[in-house]
Amino acid sequence: MSTEAFDVYQLPEEHGTIREAVRAVCDARVAPHAAEADETGEFPKASYEALRAADFHAPHIPEEYGGAGADALATAIVIEEVARACASSSLIPAVNKLGTMPLLLAGSEELKRRYLPPVARGEAMFSYCLSEPEAGSDAASMTTRATLDGDHYVLDGVKRWITNAGVSEYYTVFAVTDPTARSRGISAFVVERSDRGVSFGAPEKKLGIKGSPTREVYFDSVRIPADRMIGAPGTGFATAMRTLDHTRVTIAAQALGIAQGALDYALGYVKERKQFGKPVADFQGIQFMLADMGMKLAAARELTYTAAGKSERGDADLTYFGAAAKCFASDAAMEITTDAVQLLGGYGYTRDYPLERMMRDAKITQIYEGTNQVQRIVMARQLLNGVS
C-alpha cells in the first residue's frame, strides 16, 4: 500500500514550527503570569504584550488587513499552546477571532478595513455580544433592540457573559431590528467602547479563567451610524450561528491546551514522586490513568484538527464537526484535569500546584459558545438531516 494514503495524518511542517514558536513564547512570558492572573482576577497585560510582540494575539486576521494570515489550523494551534500555559490568556486570540469573525464572514469591505487593522496591530481587541440575561442557549429570544433613526441606529439593551468586556475596544453586538420576524429580525453591528451610552457591569466572580474579565455590557440609547451594520438587515442571527461553527473549533483548541498542560504536569510529578520505595509512575493503576488521559487527548486533538481543516475550507459538514470537536475536547479536558488532580493526591487540591486551576479553567469549555448539551442537539440534527 502506498504511504501517501497516510499523509493526511501528518501535521504540516509549518504548523509544527508555529507550535514551537508559540510554546517558546508562552513558556517564557505567559506561563509565569498564569497563577497571578488567577489569584488577582486581573487581565494579564504582560501576557498580552508578549503575544502581541510575537503576533500571536490575533493570528487569524488576513494579511490584506495587516494580520499574520494564519489559517484555521494554525490559529487553533496558537490557542492550544497559549491555553497550555494560561487558559485566561488563550482567550486573547480566541475572542479576537470570535469578535471579528462576523466581519470576515459578512462585513462590508469598508468595515473590515476600518476595524480589522487595529486588532491586527494589537491596538484593540474585539468581543462578541450575543447572550443576554434571558437569552442564553435560546439566543433568538434576545430583547436588545436597534431602532433605525435616519441614518443611524439606536441600541438599547443588555448583554451578559461577555468575555474581555471593558478591555476590548470593539464589540460585535446582535440586536433585534424587526421584532415580528424572530431570528430573521436580528441584525449585527459594530459598537465601540467609546460610543456614548456604552457601559459595563462589575466583573463576574467566576470559578475559572479569572484573568479574562467577564462583564455585562449595557447599551443606553447608543447611537451608531447605520453603516456599522454587519451584513444586511435581518441576517445577524445567521451570521452569529455561522460564526460559532468556526469558533467552536477554537474552544476545542483551548480545551486541548488546558488538558495537555495538566497531563504534562502530572507526568512529571508521578515520575518524581515516590511511595512504597518506588516512583508512583511504576504502579499499574497510575499507568492505566495516564493511558486513558493520553488516549482521550490524542482523539480530541485529531477531531479538533479535522474540524479546523473544515473551517478553513468552509465544508458543508463544519456545523457537525465544530460541535463535535468542541463537545468531545471539552469533555476530555474536564476528565483529564480531574484525573491529573487525583494523581497529585492532596497536593493536587492546593493552589501551590497548577492543576486545581487547570481543572477549574477546563469547566467553562463545556459551557460557553453553546453548552455541550446544545452541541449534542446540533450534532443529532445534523445526523438526522444527513449531514455529518
| β-strand partners of 250 | none
Query: Which residue type is seen at 3?
Result: T
- For residue 151, the tally of other CB atoms under 10 A from its CB is 8
Strand ranges (DSSP E) for the chain? 126-129, 145-149, 152-163, 170-176, 186-192, 198-200, 214-225, 229-230, 274-275, 278-279
- For residue 14, the tally of other CB atoms under 10 A from its CB is 11
Residues 127, 115: contact at Cβ < 8 Å? no
For residues 267 and 252, give the distance between their C-alpha atoms in angstroms, rounded to a whole number: 22
C-alpha cell at 323: 460541535
Sign of CA dihedral 350, 352, 354, 360: positive
For residues 154 and 156, give the distance between their C-alpha atoms in angstroms, rounded to a whole number: 7
C-alpha cell at 22: 508559540
C-alpha cell at 275: 511511595
For residues 216 and 165, give the distance between their C-alpha atoms in angstroms, rounded to a whole number: 7
Write the CB contacts of 276 (distance below 8 Å, at least 6 apart in sequence).
none
For residues 237 and 167, give the distance between their C-alpha atoms in angstroms, rounded to a whole number: 25
C-alpha cell at 120: 491586527
Q: What 3-state DSSP class applies to 60? A: coil
For residues 326 and 336, give the distance between their C-alpha atoms in angstroms, rounded to a whole number: 15
Please give the positions annotated as active site: 369
For residues 304 and 309, give the distance between their C-alpha atoms in angstroms, rounded to a whole number: 9
What length does the chain have?
A: 388
Residues 143, 132: contact at Cβ < 8 Å? yes
To 10 degrees, the CA torsion angle through 64, 249, 301, 25? 50
